[in-house]
Amino acid sequence: MIYLIALLTVVTSWWLPWWFVAIWCGLLGILAPSYKKAFIVSFLAVFLSWILVAYYFDLKAQMILSHKMTDVFFMPHPLVLYILTGTVGGLMAGLSAGCGYLLMQIRQAGLKSF
Amino acid sequence: MRRRALILYNLSLLITLMFIFILANPIGSLPPLGSLLNPFHGFWRNGPMKMPERETLRGLDKTVEVVWDSYRIPHIFALTQRDLFFAQGYVEARDRLFQMDLMTRAGVGRLADLVGPKALETDQFFVKLGFRTIAQRTLDFIKKDPESWEALDAYSQGVNFYIQSLDKKDWPLEYKLLGVGPSAWDPERSVALLNIMSFNLAGRSYDLHLTKHLKAHGLEKVKNLFPEFLPSRADDFVILKNDFEASQKVPTPSDSFVTAFDDFPEFLQPFASNGSNNWAVGPKKSQTGATILANDTHLAYSLPGVWYELQLIAPGINVYGSSFPGAPLVIVGFTQSVGWAVTNGTTDVLDWYEVEFRDEQSLEYLFEEQWHLAERQVETIEVQRGKSVEVEVLWTRSGVVMHREESLGLAAQWVVHEPSNEIKTFLELNKAKNFVDCNQALSFYQAPAQNFICADAKNIGLWHTGLLPKRWSQQGRFVLNGRLDSHQWQGWIPREQNPSVENPPEGFVRSANQRVVDESYPYYLGWDYEESYRGRRIRQALEEKEKWSLEDMIQLQNDELNLHAAEVLPHLLDLVEDQILRLQETDDKTQEGPGSVEMWRSLLKSLQAWDFVDRADSWVSSVFHLWWDEFELAFWEPNLGPREGGLYPKRQRSSILLHNISAFKDHPDHLWIPEGKSLEDLAWDGLVGAWDILTKEFGNFVESPPETWKWGRVQGAGMPHLLGVSGLGEPHYLMGGSQYAVNANRGSHGATWRMIVAFGEGDKDTEGWVNFPGGPSGNPFDPSYEQFTKSWSQGELRKVVFLKEQDGSMSLPAQED
């Protein structure tokens, strides 16, 4: 699942808006066995893929992107910027996947109550 | 069970949506983190662009070629003028789109729409001052000249061509930080940019400050402290001979009007020392036997820099120099045969009027005993994210109303309100083949008034160019009476009588924003010019040396001799000498280190030994500057109120006053010494004050002054990013110079474009040497963003690559000079 989300993120984000990842994660969250799993898997997938793509562009620019932006945000080290980048994407993904999982729970609770 | 799941789901959905919403929008000063940080469209995509050596573009008419030289400076080859400016718009937008957007928005009061409420006040000011109307009027005026209009329109299409090619990921970083995208360009933007430059250079007025002084101290004292002509040296003026009669006399009205306003709002003022140096030595004074021209323009430091260097080549045009990104053409530059250099003319072209309305709300105002209807416009200022504010713009015969109080209004009459076509001037300059062409190009020029030097290999000339109001002597020094026709401007000084000089016998021309003419000039030009120190130093140097080389010119641009210090420091030192002696008598012999007589003695010795050069590594220079500031404040504050928002006499006047008081016991200037103090007290307190500031802010003096006391650190020099984003600017450059030196570095302002043109003769090509802080690219991640700043801060210039028509791959006809 983690690979699927990462793949969807990396393949579709070039032309779709950045928040579109939330929709993939929401949909895939439906299949998750627990909220925790839905959250963690999506979080990690997007966290890592955002960081990797960011690193690719940073490397191409000889790391000047992360270095300058670290100063802009008064951060102590570029690593913090990477973690922030990953976390922003990861949290969005995790929360969305959680939504998907909880949507499924409503349906299942509905079925049980019949 | 189902209900619980429903609640949990809704709660989770709400949190997720809120989180995404926060990420997508700027919160306070925080940028929209999601759009900014995502690696697909965010800042991670703003890496430097790879520049090909040559690039072809599809122009409006034909193909255009851009050649990038090893400094990453673009040279544009086009087959038509339309294509040339189209490509200029495209290339400048690609490097500087955000800067262009920001600057041009300021010129029509639309900044708040881009950067939010913090710019609302500035927008309101410019809209009230009539900037939107001016832009429209100017545009209509320019349309009457098809060639100028074509240049503006083609440039605009070039910018739009670039904007249309942009995907969100390609937006310049600043847009991503603000969470707003670029909007379509139109020719009005370029006009707005030139108007904002007019404000920067010709928007200063001290009429309101002087009126306040007039009410507090009376006319005689104000005339004494703020004289029209300082008793300066005869050669302090830009143009030394004006031996002609005014073709049109201006009668002075007999009334003596004083406004009913007791106080005035504080209006936005441009930085007082926006200025420049220019000079040229003719063939007789040049080592090569051909003219050498020099220019350095003093504006605010910023990243990206205010100028954009480029070369424009098309049939009939081959020009190199710097443009204002956002407007077509080269603004300061040269061709193979002719060059031009500018400094701010500084002549006062903004006067204030008291206007009487029928009542508080009325639009009717009194003029020559009749009520007239003011022209009213209501403009809307959009503030980022939906809000908008309305501003009323009121036009009267006395200009645009900036403030109303009961039935009175305060109106500003400004030359820039007159429609003009400066594009035509620059178009003609860019195409100029010789000295005469250059001079003729200036006849279209109106504002902001500049001292233009035109030069070719054999000739030099300087024109105080621009539309100058014809006024009676001293008109506009204080708030004028808007009820009377006799208080209005009396037309314009005839163009042919604007101050000018061609090939003077001394073999050089020069200007440095100082007073243009002496008493012999038959029209009144106002009283407020830059101090003469820079101009005096340039003249002194040019007179001293017989033959000038390019290296000499570079050296003079970097000259840091402070003639103000040379004038006042000996007086100040005399004044504190007795104090030291007195200290010595009461000295506790056991005391050592800071505060001891020994320390003061050694400080005085260093000041006495100082050569008045504002070097970056001179700590004595720091002591002098702070000492003078403290002394001046202590002297004038009790007389004229706080310095901030107030007006003190020119340093030159203060220095004369210092001399008068020291030399003559009964001199009337004694009356300005604050009560209960002596000049000696003030000088001593000033020195102690300067010492305290240095110690508190820059570290303790332990046996020797710390590194941080060096003038280059105390004054500093920093390049802030245009939006003030820390991390995108460069806060510290160790640089010397001062507002009194030819190298007019003032920490936040200074030489933003240095240029020297050594004209070639016979087989020898004309050489251009330039430098500027910043670099070609406006992208903070591009290595060229600040590639020239270091060498510029060290005073170096680089020889430009001047391409010929045949250097492009298209077959352009060679220029005939």
Reported confidence tier of residue B579, pLDDT bands at 50, 70, 90: confident
Residues in chain A within 8 Å Cβ distance of B2: 106, 109-110, 112-113
Q: Which of B5, B728, B783 sits opposite A105 (nearest CB)?
A: B5
CA distances from B559 to B277, B552, B562, B794 (A): 12, 10, 9, 12
What would the two tokens of residue B624 be? 């002098």
pLDDT, one tens digit per residue, over B295-324 is 999 999 999 999 999 999 999 999 999 999
Q: Which of A72, A98, A106 sits opposite B5 (nearest CB)?
A: A106
* Shortest distance, CA B41 to any CA of chain A (angstroms): 7
Hey, what long-range contacts does B578-583 have (CB within 8 A, 24 or more apart)? Answer: B578/B680, B579/B680, B579/B683, B579/B684, B580/B604
What would the two tokens of residue B592 be? 């050592």
Residues in chain A within 8 Å Cβ distance of B15: 95
What would the two tokens of residue B772 be? 């500027």
| Mean pLDDT, rounded, for B585-593 | 58
What would the two tokens of residue B117 be? 């409420």
Please indicate whether, in this complex, the C-beta atoms of A50 and B4 are within 8 angstroms of each other: no
Task: Answer yes or no: are the C-beta atoms of B61 and B68 closer than 8 Å.
Answer: no
| Mean pLDDT, rounded, for B195-216 | 94
- Give the residue from B222, B206, B158 showing the smallest Cα distance to B184: B158
Cβ atoms within 10 A of the Cβ of B88, count?
29
Instruction: Sort B184 into a burial class: Cβ within 10 Å, 0-12 / 13-18 / 19+.
Output: exposed
Which residues is B389 bridged to in the sheet? B381
H helix or E strand, kind and range, residue B740: none
> What pLDDT is stored for residue B585 in this prediction?
72
Cβ atoms within 10 A of the Cβ of A104, count?
17
Residues in chain B within 8 Å Cβ distance of A72: 725-728
Q: Match 């200029």 to its residue by tokens.
A: B88
Task: Please state the ipTM of this predicted complex.
Answer: 0.95
| Mean pLDDT, rounded, for B537-564 | 97
Instruction: Sort B397 into a burial class: Cβ within 10 Å, 0-12 / 13-18 / 19+.
Output: middle
Please indicate whether, in this complex, the C-beta atoms of A19 and B42 are within 8 angstroms of each other: no
| Mean pLDDT, rounded, for B700-724 | 89
Amino acid at B783: P
Smallest CA–CA distance from B721 into chain A, residue: A72
Mean pLDDT for all residues in chain B:
93
Amino acid at B91: V
| Mean pLDDT, rounded, for A83-94 | 96
Residues in chain B within 8 Å Cβ distance of A68: 727-728, 780-781
pLDDT, one tens digit per residue, over B434-469 is 999 999 999 999 999 999 999 999 999 999 999 999
User: pLDDT exceeding 90 applies to what percent of chain B?
Assistant: 84
Amino acid at B49: M
Q: Is residue B712 pLDDT above 90, yes or no?
A: yes
Among B37, B41, B173, B781, pick the best mutation site for testing chain A contact (most A Cβ within 10 A). B37
- Give the residue from B742, B562, B748 showing the smallest Cα distance to B655: B562
Q: Match 């243009």 to its residue by tokens.
A: B516
Task: Answer yes or no: are the C-beta atoms of B722 and B303 closer than 8 Å.
Answer: yes
Distance CA B529, CA B206 (A): 11
Please indicate whether, in this complex, the C-beta atoms of B726 and A71 are within 8 angstroms of each other: yes
pLDDT, one tens digit per residue, over B100-156 is 999 999 999 999 999 989 999 999 999 999 999 999 999 999 999 999 999 999 999
* Shortest distance, CA A18 to any CA of chain B (angstroms): 7
Q: Which of B13, B20, B48 sits opposite A61 (nearest CB)?
A: B48
CA distances from B668 to B215, B571, B660 (A): 20, 18, 9
pLDDT, one tens digit per residue, over B762-780 is 789 999 999 999 999 999 9
Task: Answer yes or no: are the C-beta atoms of B447 and B439 closer than 8 Å.
Answer: no
Q: Is residue B417 pLDDT above 50, yes or no?
A: yes
In total, the C-beta contacts within 8 angstroms joining chain A to chain B are 115
CA distances from B728 to B171, B776, B780 (A): 16, 15, 6
> What pLDDT is stored for residue A114 in this prediction?
47
Distance CA B810, CA B803 (A): 13
Q: Which of A57, A103, A110 sits opposite B44 (nearest CB)?
A: A57
Q: How wide is the angle at C-alpha B55 spanned by C-alphas B49 and B61, nearest 5°?
A: 125
Residue B671 sits at the chain A interface (C-beta within 8 Å): no
What would the two tokens of residue B480 be? 């004028």
pLDDT, one tens digit per residue, over B656-669 is 999 999 889 899 99
> What pLDDT is stored for residue B255 in this prediction?
81
What would the two tokens of residue B464 be? 């105080």
Q: At what angle do helices B563-585 and B533-544 cross, to 10 degrees?
A: 110
Smallest CA–CA distance from A11 into chain B, residue: B40
- Give the residue from B261, B287, B267, B291 showing the smallest Cα distance to B279: B291
Q: Which of B:768-797 have CB within 8 Å of A?
A: 780-781, 783
Residue B50 sits at the chain A interface (C-beta within 8 Å): no
Amino acid at B148: S
**Phi then psi for B65, rounded to 5 degrees?**
-115, 135
Distance CA B315, CA B363 (A): 53
pLDDT, one tens digit per residue, over B233-280 is 778 888 877 777 877 778 888 888 999 999 999 999 998 778 899 999
Residue B181 sits at the chain A interface (C-beta within 8 Å): no
What would the two tokens of residue B665 be? 């016991």
Q: Which of B4, B20, B46 sits opposite A65 (nearest CB)?
A: B46
User: pLDDT exceeding 70 applies to what percent of chain A?
Assistant: 96
User: pLDDT exceeding 70 applies to what percent of chain B?
Assistant: 98
Which residues is B375 bridged to in the sheet? B395
Cβ atoms within 10 A of the Cβ of B703, count?
7
Q: Which of A:84-103 have CB within 8 Å of B?
A: 84-85, 88-89, 91-92, 95-96, 98-99, 102-103
> What pLDDT is stored for residue B295 in this prediction?
98
Q: Is residue A8 pLDDT above 90, yes or no?
A: no
Residue B731 sits at the chain A interface (C-beta within 8 Å): no
| Mean pLDDT, rounded, for B630-647 | 93
| Mean pLDDT, rounded, for B692-701 | 92
Amino acid at B700: N
Q: Is residue B29 pLDDT above 90, yes or no?
A: no
> What pLDDT is stored for residue B41 in this prediction?
95
Reported confidence tier of residue A105, pLDDT bands at 50, 70, 90: confident
Amino acid at B509: V
Please indicate whether, in this complex, the C-beta atoms of B19 and A92 are within 8 angstroms of each other: yes
Q: How wide is the angle at C-alpha B373 spanned by C-alphas B370 and B379, nearest 5°?
A: 155
> What pLDDT is stored for residue B814 in this prediction?
74
Radius of gyration of chain B (CA): 28
Does residue B94 sit in helix, strand or coil?
helix
> What pLDDT is stored for residue B239 in this prediction?
85
Distance CA B564, CA B541 (A): 16
Smallest CA–CA distance from B168 into chain A, residue: A17
Q: Count how many Cα atoms sit within 13 Å of the Cα of residue B58 in the half-sphere of its side chain.
A: 1
What DSSP letter does each residue of B688-706 carry, written as one string? HHHHHHHHHHH---BSB--
Reported confidence tier of residue A111, pLDDT bands at 50, 70, 90: low
Distance CA B9, CA A106 (A): 8
Amino acid at B265: P
Which residues is B50 bridged to in the sheet? none
| Mean pLDDT, rounded, for B691-699 | 93
Q: Is residue B66 pLDDT above 70, yes or no?
A: yes
- Give the residue from B340, B325, B307 showing the smallest Cα distance to B430: B340
**Phi then psi for B710, rounded to 5 degrees?**
-60, 140
Please indicate whether, in this complex, the C-beta atoms of A18 and B40 are within 8 angstroms of each other: yes
Residues in chain B within 8 Å Cβ distance of A67: none
Distance CA B766, CA B456 (A): 10
Distance CA B96, CA B51 (A): 15
- Give the residue from B429, B426, B464, B432 showing the smallest Cα distance to B194: B426
Q: How wide is the angle at C-alpha B184 spanned by C-alphas B178 and B186, nearest 5°?
A: 125
Q: Match 């830009």 to its residue by tokens.
A: B238
H helix or E strand, kind and range, residue B413: strand B408-414
Instruction: List the helix and strand counts (H, then E) for chain A.
Output: 5, 0
> What pLDDT is stored for residue B326 in this prediction?
97
Radius of gyration of chain A (CA): 16
